């Protein structure tokens, strides 16, 4: 949704109607994740993608029909048996796409949601995509964290009358906040009235959490390459170094911010301010004990962090572990450290090393083995 939000908002503000196709569930090796969006605009323009090209034509045609009828549709693509609909995915896998008409009347809160996303405030949109009662399909809730201003007084901002009952609203708000805390988008299933143990009502929760952070410590040429790749992967990148002569914005044009501070002090401050979460990745590239040992003492004791990697040779790594043990870190804490940093790609240059670091981060995030796909069997996506 982030990729197409500006275009959608422009049409919405102009009072136009837009067909919005959203991937709400995937199976096997689906090419796009839940939350991927394609728009069919008022002039029949196509914006975005739900499958990387496999079923865009079919979704576009469905979007045209829904702009006329106004009736939302949940469509499955990729099934090959006799009950299949429309087309299959040439790359394999199955996707469920929910296509609906969005305008000021059907989604009056879109402007507020867009403002939250632009400001980096977490927000989730929960939409009924299947229900025994057709009148309840397309109803939605806009859900914010319990700690958000005003959330204590109103558990959610309701759109289109909520999901049809207080029971359903309460159940979905609780679950949506859990997904939002983890930055996950997912389809949930309930009984028709929101019963926890039941089926019939499917609700897609599209979560818009703040962009995950990549903290790069050490203002060296390798850090510039890592910052560039981190930005490409969608992280908000911070480069930090205590040496002002090296930590300059001109040397790190792809970083969102460059901080001059002692690394351990900066990380401590960010953690205390609540700006470190379980999606944050930490790359320690200083390979200098006076910087990286105090920094790793802080990083390895953080309760929530996605990845901690440290650059250095095997000898540097052994010396670093010795110093960290002397500082009182446990073996369980040390086991969280990826060092030497990155996957074994035979990298030499800063750019190649950045690719190896990014590959390790991706593999750890999704459970990849880091081996060649041609040498493995089974599904490509874990």
Q: What is the pTM of this model?
A: 0.66
Q: How many CB atoms lie within 10 A of CB 367?
A: 8
- The pLDDT profile of the chain, 382 residues, written as one tens digit per residue, is 788 999 999 999 999 999 999 999 988 766 678 899 999 999 999 999 888 777 889 999 999 999 999 999 999 987 544 434 455 555 567 889 999 999 999 999 999 999 999 888 889 999 999 999 999 999 999 998 876 555 544 455 554 458 888 899 999 999 998 888 777 899 999 999 999 888 999 999 999 988 889 999 999 999 999 999 999 998 999 999 999 999 999 999 999 999 999 999 999 999 999 899 888 999 999 988 899 999 999 999 999 899 999 999 999 999 999 999 999 999 999 999 999 999 999 999 999 999 999 999 999 988 888 888 788 777 666 5
Residue 153, classed as helix, strand or coil, is coil
Cα dist. 372→165, 182, 348, 363 in Å? Answer: 50, 30, 19, 12
* Residue among 337, 341, 312 nearest 324 (CA): 337
Contact 67, 40 (CB under 8 A): yes
Give the model's pLDDT for residue 382: 59
Q: For residues 187 and 156, give the distance between their C-alpha atoms in angstroms, rounded to a whole number.
A: 18
Q: For residues 286 and 279, give the distance between their C-alpha atoms in angstroms, rounded to a whole number.
A: 22
């Amino acid at each position: 949704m982030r990729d197409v939000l500006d275009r959608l908002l422009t049409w919405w503000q102009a009072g136009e109607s837009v067909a919005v196709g959203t991937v709400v569930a995937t199976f096997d090796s689906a090419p796009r994740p839940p939350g991927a969006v394609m728009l069919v605009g008022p002039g029949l323009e196509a914006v975005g993608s739900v499958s990387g090209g496999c079923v865009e034509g079919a979704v576009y045609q469905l979007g045209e029909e829904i702009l006329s009828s106004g009736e939302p549709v949940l469509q499955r693509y990729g099934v090959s048996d006799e009950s299949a609909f429309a087309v299959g995915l040439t790359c394999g896998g199955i996707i469920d796409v929910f296509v609906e008409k969005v305008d000021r009347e059907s989604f009056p809160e879109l402007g507020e949601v867009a403002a939250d996303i632009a400001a980096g405030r977490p927000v989730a949109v929960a939409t009924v995509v299947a229900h025994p009662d057709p009148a309840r399909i397309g109803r939605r809730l806009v859900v914010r964290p319990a700690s958000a201003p005003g959330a204590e007084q109103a558990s959610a901002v309701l759109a289109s009358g909520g999901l049809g009952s207080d029971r359903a609203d309460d159940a979905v708000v609780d679950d949506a906040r859990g997904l939002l805390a983890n930055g996950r988008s997912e389809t949930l299933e309930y009984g028709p009235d929101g019963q926890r143990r039941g089926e019939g009502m499917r609700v897609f929760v599209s979560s818009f959490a703040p962009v995950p952070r990549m903290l790069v410590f050490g203002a060296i040429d390798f850090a510039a390459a890592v910052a560039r790749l981190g930005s490409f992967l969608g992280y908000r990148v911070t480069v930090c170094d205590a040496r002002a002569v090296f930590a300059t914005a001109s040397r790190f044009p792809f970083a969102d911010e460059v901080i001059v501070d002692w690394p351990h002090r900066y990380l401590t401050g960010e953690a205390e301010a609540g700006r470190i979460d379980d999606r944050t990745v930490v790359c320690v590239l200083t390979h200098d004990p006076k910087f990286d040992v105090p920094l790793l003492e802080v990083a390895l004791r953080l309760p929530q962090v996605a990845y901690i990697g440290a650059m250095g040779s095997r000898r540097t790594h052994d010396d670093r572990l010795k110093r960290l043990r002397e500082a009182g870190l446990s073996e369980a804490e040390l086991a969280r450290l990826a060092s030497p940093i990155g996957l074994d790609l035979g990298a030499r240059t800063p750019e190649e090393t950045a690719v190896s670091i990014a590959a390790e981060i991706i593999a750890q995030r999704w459970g990849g083995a880091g081996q060649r796909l041609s040498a493995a069997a089974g599904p490509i996506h874990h």
